[in-house]
Structure 1
Amino acid sequence: MSISLGGMFSSWVVFACCHLLGIQLHLHQPQRFLFVEVGGTAEIHCSSSKDLDGAAKLHWYLRKAGEAPTHIKSCKDQNESRFACKHQSCSTTLEIRGIQRNDCGICYCADARSSSLIFGIRTTVIVGDSFTNSSSMLLLGPVAEENGVTEPAHLACVIQGVSHLVQVFWCIPREEPAQGMLDSLEASDGSLTLIHGISIPWTSWASGAAITCQITFNSSGSSITRHITYSAHEWFCASP
């Protein structure tokens, strides 16, 4: 029987590296958006690439529109409250019981086992109906003179007169669904203006294909859709 010393050495190096460096932890939140009725229970899921060791070092944060993230739950804390963690070996679920409109926001799970926090992607929690009588939507895109062919095209979906966050879905032909960045402004009457922006390759924008932005206000599926196409002369070209 022959033994390859080179193969043994390579296997030992891989074994040693795995033990010295460890496997990097990744957190995944499968729900991009979650609609919940007022007074109901929200269940926000978070899974891990490694065992969470009883979730003792797992935390949850909530970022409301226009505010910095705040810590709302440590899974180590088992005291009874509106917030509770339900744990399995490689996943955990945050329950928010008796949820109210002021619980709307973006939830993040985070692991604190290292010197810095490792965050999940995010789950946007929408409570009740965000639509109001003054709700409207505008879709904006750049003109040719404002950009070069090698630079990305920046588009914005502007949602005005809503009471809370909404679900935003972009459809770009031959491109992956866009995540985008969200900014919010609060008016004197308490209503919100949400600006959801994305960047796409200029060639995709200048191809003339219709780009769609759809916003959904509540769990019943009430939504508004706008389409926009490239124009060399207009600042925007949006249609219902």
Structure 2
Amino acid sequence: MMTTDALPSRCDLAGWLTDAAQAIAGILVAEYDTPASRSYLTPLLGPLSAGPRVVGELNERLEDLLDEPLPTTPVGLFALASYASALGWLTESLTELTTSVDAICTRAGLPALEPGEHPVPAPAEEEGFDHCFNDAETAAIRTAADAAGMEPDAYVDVLVGALRAAAAITDACMEISSGLIEDAQYIVEEAASEVRIGEGPGSLPTLVRSLLSRLETTQ
């Protein structure tokens, strides 16, 4: 926790990033009681319920800094850049998760479509995908599909979509959390008296470099 009567130390800044990393990692182990009729959403409802709360807490912590001496040293700015990048990346990832859940619910018939609307089609990579299950798995799918009021093929379709979305939010949270930890360790272990900023991409926080790399990849 940062003190309010002095500029934050390296340990303060590292602790700030570490706390954020732990909160973000916790999104992946959040639990949510899913009714049998919506069992295909089981991989998503935990992160979907915990994610906005974590974003809110991280935002509040950032706002609280306005009442404290703001970091103005290079190492302080380094920590702020890492934290802000993590918060932005997490917010974007949760927005994508919400969009995926909306699409899955629409494909499952929830909510009911209004006149003139059309179901969201399955992603192209899922078309023609062959699912091979043994007898026990087939029986379990039939039971789950029956509880959800769906045909087995339709149930598998939305479940695959849920698993893809769960993998995406898992990858994002793990990368954000590990990036924050790396930056926290760098702040504490860096032998130089100052962390250099603005002297090449290698001096930027891990998450900033990751985001820049993603932007270059999409261009």
Normalising by the smaller structure, the TM-score range is under 0.3
Query: Which structure has the larger Rg over C-alpha atoms?
Result: 1
> With structure 2 as the length reference, what TM-score do the two structures score?
0.21
> With structure 1 as the length reference, what TM-score do the two structures score?
0.20
Higher relative contact order (CA 8 A, sep 6+): 2
Give the structure with the higher percent strand: 1
